[in-house]
Amino acid sequence: MTSVAPRDRATIQLRDLGELPVFGRPPRASTTLEVRWIHRGPVPEAMIAWLGPFADRVERRQDRYFVDPTDPDLGVKIRDAVRFDLKASRGSLGKLTVPGAGRGRLELWEKWSFPLHETALASADGTGWLGLEKSRRRRSFSVGDDEVVERPVDQAELPGCSVELTEVAIGRGLWWTLGFEATGARETLERNLHATVARLFREPSPDPKLLDLRHSMSYPKWLHKKLARSRAASRDMLTTETETDGPGAASWSWPVAN
């Protein structure tokens, strides 16, 4: 629930989260179509070469996520200490299948984004928040009826589709993720995403087994899965989950939300 105060100062109120002060009145929601894969370890150099060239510099930032233990379809994050992002799942549009490249889950999301007031950061240091250090490589494309044209990444919020190849550090643990996000009118989202995937996946994947359904999930669902494992070990204290079944195996302490 959102309440608006004078001078366009607002307060975001969410269950189990409390209040976060933001600027501006509630924005119009945007709808995106996304597909993502997440793996342990650093970004493979072969993936960077396959999806590149990435002309823009690597973006480094910290995002803080609040993980609702009851709802894997809700994404709540503070982006780089300057924006509050809220996203809600609106269901699946089936599966993406690219011969020679892989398969993924197509997920529809509704999103809202607010400029964040500086006093909100103290509220994001408590139980339930988790900091993710990200190093992001990105490309963005406009999509027409007959062509897909690359554009500057600062135009990524315009209609079209963007791809990101990101390394994610949580404590001493390291993961990498590949994601596509299509934007624009609802009826163009599938076209925008499929056309961009076809443009970038023209050559066979260096390892088609990496882009499989088992590893295809959103950030909220991935973090919810990690939290569920941690809570199974201990519900009332900081717990350490140790991954031992793959490269990049590491452990971290999870702030458990009661």
**Considering only CA atoms, which of 79, 84, 55 is closest in space to residue 154?**
55
The residue-averaged pLDDT of 222-239 equals 66
- Residues 65-85 have pLDDT tens digits of 988 777 889 898 988 888 889
The residue-averaged pLDDT of 247-255 equals 43
Tell me, what's the pLDDT at 27? 64
Tell me, what's the pLDDT at 192? 97
Class of domain 27-254: alpha beta
pTM (global) more than 0.85: no
| Domains of the chain, residue spans | 27-254
Indicate if the pLDDT at residue 88 is higher than 70.
yes
To 10 degrees, the CA torsion angle through 57, 129, 108, 102? 60
The lowest-confidence range among 16-20, 50-54, 68-72, 245-249 is 245-249
- Residues 32-68 have pLDDT tens digits of 999 999 999 999 999 999 999 999 999 999 999 988 7
**Considering only CA atoms, which of 246, 227, 208 is closest in space to residue 37?**
208
Tell me, what's the pLDDT at 180? 98
Mean pLDDT (the chain, rounded): 81
| 125 half-sphere exposure, CB direction, 13 A CA radius | 5
Choice between 186 and 8, residue whose per-residue pLDDT is larger: 186
Choice between 235 and 155, residue whose per-residue pLDDT is larger: 155
10 Å Cβ neighbour count for 2?
A: 14
Which of the given ranges, 142-146, 187-191, 237-241, has the highest pLDDT on average? 187-191
